DNA sequence: GTTACATGTGTGACGATGCACATAAGGAGC
DNA sequence: GCTCCTTATGTGCATCGTCACACATGTAAC
């Protein structure tokens, strides 16, 4: 996943300048993608201009510094559509930009494809939960730091592990809810448009 | 936060080789730190040897490839203790190695310091939840991709935002539970050792 | 036999990320 | 006058993270 795609998706909705993108990713968008330093945004936008994905014009403000307002280009739109239709590969970190951006921007352009994305994510997370049950090491029989408290380490490690599993389980539940509501939406859309456009409802489940 | 510190903390408990570290971080330790590629582990271990934090001896196995078993050095122990007592700075991503490693390894060496770490984390997360409520942009009035569905985007964006807040809230709850159990532990330890060592119970809350 | 898988350790390359530093203008408070 | 905060944009550098590729051994399946 490239950060580029997040910016591309946002700029597809509305032209914005770097500072606005930064602010949005720090407040409303902080659960879509966290850990976004402003330097990264400006650097990325610069590269996207070079690659022709976006263009900008300088907006002079009264009483405020000038701002560069970026607008997505046709090339950018094509790149966005192409990304949305490229295969999704989950990573080990859940509830992260890798999935979130893919899901949001895919759902806008192609709801059926978004369901495939969810199913891919679900398969991966379920496997992850299973993998977390295997115990590969015993952290005993140590040569530890004198002051170290191994009993506490095990207790806290276990608590952390339990909370991690709980979180993934809740994530899986949420994904299932999202999937169900998307399926409903597609179904009602299809019914509504059936007589007009006759949109085919391909079953997206692999 | 440096990945180095995670390896240092684990090796303080028990000498291990790279493959074992990799396996552990992929199964039991996946909620302490995810996204760990083996190449990163071996590279990091190599650098730590250069810096004198760890040393290794080759363990010839019957029927299996040789393994390099790494053991923490005195320099490594000092570095670990120094890291544990250095100030903790939360990052925007919650439930991540940044906090997890710091918490686990601090709690082993200095439970009172671990409470300070939790409080720092709690302050930051509560502020984050508040910050998430501010609405900095309206993603309307667009010049969108023709096929784009802005209504769906808003709906899914909101759902994602809600789930994000719920997750942070649950994270805060868990932190409070951990804090309470640590406080209890310290209190009972202090009572138990009061007549023997007369350990002072400094109030860790800032 | 040979193909696949698990154990084990690495290198090279490249993009992503984070932190310090830099600049510039205006407004608020002391 | 001075400092601090907000808006606004950037560069430089080090580390992190990921992928491809590489090599070595033993075992289990076909």
Query: According to the CATH classification, is domain A3-82 in 3.40.140.10?
Result: no
Asked whether residue B100, judged by its CB, lies under 7 Å from any atom of the DNA or RNA strand D, the reply is no
Helix, strand, coil distribution of chain A in percent, nearest 5: 60, 10, 30
Nearest-CA neighbor of A29 among A100, A121, A99, A110?
Answer: A100
* Residue-range domain boundaries for chain B: 3-84, 97-193
Model confidence band, residue B203 (pLDDT cutoffs 50, 70, 90): very low
Which of A10, A108, A170 shows the shortest C-beta gap to B152? Answer: A108
| pLDDT value of position A152 | 87
Please indicate whether residue B78 or residue B61 has the higher confidence score (pLDDT): B78
Find the mean pLDDT for residues B112-139: 88
Of B28, B153, B174, the CB nearest to A135: B28
CB contact under 8 A, B137 and A111: no
Mean pLDDT score, A66-94 = 93
For A139-189, what is each residue's pLDDT tens digit? 655 555 566 778 888 899 999 999 999 999 999 999 999 999 999 998 887
Cα distance between residue B88 and residue A172, in whole Å: 31
pLDDT band at residue B134 using 50, 70 and 90 as cut-offs:
confident
- Identify which of A99, A76, A100 has the alpha carbon closest to the alpha carbon of residue A88: A99
Asked if residue B13 lies in contact with residue A144, where contact means CB atoms within 8 angstroms, the answer is yes
Work out the burial of residue B147: count CB atoms within 10 Å of its CB; fewer than 13 is exposed, 13-18 middle, 19 or more buried. exposed
Distance CA A102, CA A118 (A): 10
Beta strand ranges found along chain B (DSSP E)? 16-17, 54-59, 67-72
Interface test with B, best of A30, A98, A127, A131 (most B CBs within 10 A): A30
Residues B88-117 pLDDT 10s? 999 889 999 999 999 999 999 999 999 999
pLDDT average, residue stretch B173-190: 92
- The answer to whether A136 and B14 have CB atoms below 8 angstroms apart is no
Tell me the pLDDT tens digit for each residue of A19-64: 999 999 999 999 999 889 999 999 999 999 999 999 999 988 877 8
Give residue B123's pLDDT. 93
Q: How many CB pairs under 8 A join A and B?
A: 190
pLDDT at A196 (0 to 100): 64
Residues of A in contact with B153 (CB under 8 A): 13, 104, 107-108
What are φ and ψ of residue A55, in 5° steps? Answer: -135, 165
Residue of A nearest to B169 (CA): A167
Per-residue confidence (pLDDT) for residue B117, from 0 to 100? 95
- How confident is the prediction for chain B on average, in pLDDT? 88
Q: B109 contacts in A (CB within 8 Å)? A: 145, 147-149
Collapsing DSSP to helix, strand or coil, B70 comes out as strand
Options 2.60.120.10, 1.10.10.10, 1.10.1200.10, 3.40.50.20; CATH for B3-84 is 1.10.10.10
CA–CA distance, B88 with B96 (Å, rounded to integer): 13
d(CA A105, CA A94): 18
Tell me, what's the pLDDT at A203? Answer: 46
Interface test with A, best of B6, B114, B157, B158 (most A CBs within 10 A): B157
What is the pLDDT at residue A151?
Answer: 85
Indicate whether B193 pLDDT > 80.
Answer: no
Q: Which of B83, B98, B121, B113 has its CA nearest to residue B182? A: B113
Of B149, B140, B99, B106, the closest CA to residue B120 belongs to B99
Cross-strand bridge partners of residue B68: B58
Strands (E), A11-73: 16-17, 54-61, 64-72
- Reply yes or no on whether the pLDDT at B59 is more than 60: yes
Rg (CA), chain B: 22
Residue B63 pLDDT? 77
- As a whole number, mean pLDDT of residues B41-67 equals 91
Residue B205 has pLDDT above 50, yes or no: no
pLDDT value of position A47: 95
Q: Which bases in strand D are touched by protein, i.e. have an atom under 7 Å from a CB?
A: 7-12, 15-21, 24-27
Please state the separation of Cα A181 from the chain's center in Å. 18
Give per-residue pLDDT as tens, A103-123: 999 999 999 999 999 999 999
């Amino acid at each position: 996943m490239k950060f580029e795609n997040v910016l591309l998706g946002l700029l597809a909705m509305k032209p914005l300048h770097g500072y606005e993108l930064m602010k949005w990713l720090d407040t409303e968008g902080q659960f879509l993608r966290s850990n976004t330093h402003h330097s990264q945004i400006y650097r990325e936008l610069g590269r996207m201009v070079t690659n022709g994905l976006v263009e900008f014009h300088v907006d002079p403000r009264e009483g405020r510094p000038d701002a560069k307002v970026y607008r997505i280009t046709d090339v950018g739109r094509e790149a966005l559509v192409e990304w949305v239709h490229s295969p999704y590969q989950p990573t080990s970190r859940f509830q992260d930009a890798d999935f979130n951006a893919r899901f949001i921007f895919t759902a806008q352009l192609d709801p059926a494809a978004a369901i495939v994305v969810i199913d891919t994510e679900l398969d991966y997370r379920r496997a992850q939960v299973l993998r977390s049950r295997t115990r590969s090491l015993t952290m005993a029989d140590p040569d530890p730091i004198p002051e170290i408290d191994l009993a506490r380490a095990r207790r806290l490690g276990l608590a952390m592990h339990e909370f991690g599993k709980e979180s993934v389980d809740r994530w899986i539940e949420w994904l299932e809810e999202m999937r169900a509501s998307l399926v409903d939406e597609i179904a009602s859309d299809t019914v509504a448009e059936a007589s007009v456009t006759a949109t085919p409802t391909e079953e997206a489940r692999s």
